[in-house]
């Protein structure tokens, strides 16, 4: 098992859009007024199945803490709004308020937008890397049961009509970054909180980052 200081120096391998089952997150250009990059000490990291982060590692910068914020929208309360350029997920509360979570998003070329719904939910989801991922990273397990070291994290919300998920992570240092192939990830305490608040059928609005 590599220490965290070494894991930050591992270069992420190129991946195709099909490899969205469990991926890391990295940096993209910041937007004015928002913290939208990796933590200053973070480089890109590859998947680390089996790694269990410490409580200290799950402490996010203040900008990424779960918090209630002012949020003007026409979406109904209970709607999930993902803003990929801001690196935030909003759970609309009504009265121009939302619960905001810091997230990791898709890397350049793998971001997407649209209107979807949560089709199912899972606690401590299993992970089965697809053949394409095994070919590129042959050291990965062929199957990994759900648990604290699973790259899918503590909870998963499956976005209908896609292969994407909102899920937890065993790499909390990737929150606020953009290296996945389309999934959105939260630290485990936050994804558990979100999971408990939203039912199957919840509307999901994904706002794609503008091209630069």
User: Which residues carry out catalysis?
Assistant: 167, 183
- d(CA 185, CA 101) in angstroms, rounded, equals 10
Count H helices, E strands: the chain? 3, 11
Say if residues 162 and 204 touch (Cβ distance below 8 Å). no
208-212 long-range contacts (CB < 8 A, ≥24 apart) are 208/84, 208/111, 208/112, 208/113, 209/28, 209/84, 209/85, 209/105, 209/111, 210/85, 212/29
- d(CA 212, CA 210) in angstroms, rounded, equals 6
Alpha helices in 90-140 (DSSP H): 131-136
């Amino acid at each position: 098992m590599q220490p965290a200081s070494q894991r930050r120096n591992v270069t992420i391998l190129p991946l195709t859009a099909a490899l969205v089952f469990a991926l890391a997150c990295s940096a993209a250009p910041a937007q004015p007024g928002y913290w939208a990059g990796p933590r200053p000490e973070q480089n890109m990291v590859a998947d680390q199945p089996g790694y269990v982060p410490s409580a200290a590692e799950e402490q996010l910068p203040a900008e990424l803490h779960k918090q209630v914020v002012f949020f003007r929208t026409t979406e109904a309360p209970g709607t999930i709004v993902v803003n990929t350029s801001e690196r935030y997920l909003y759970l609309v509360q009504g009265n121009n308020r939302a619960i905001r979570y810091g997230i990791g998003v898709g890397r350049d070329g793998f971001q997407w937008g649209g209107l979807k719904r949560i089709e199912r939910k899972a606690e401590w989801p299993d992970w089965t890397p697809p053949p394409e991922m095994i070919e590129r990273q042959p050291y990965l397990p062929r199957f990994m049961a759900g648990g604290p070291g699973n790259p899918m994290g503590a909870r998963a919300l499956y976005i209908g009509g896609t292969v994407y998920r909102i899920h937890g992570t065993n790499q909390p240092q990737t929150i606020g970054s953009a290296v996945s192939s389309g999934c959105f990830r939260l630290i485990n305490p936050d994804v558990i909180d979100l999971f408990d608040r939203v039912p199957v059928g919840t509307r999901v609005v994904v706002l794609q980052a503008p091209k630069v």
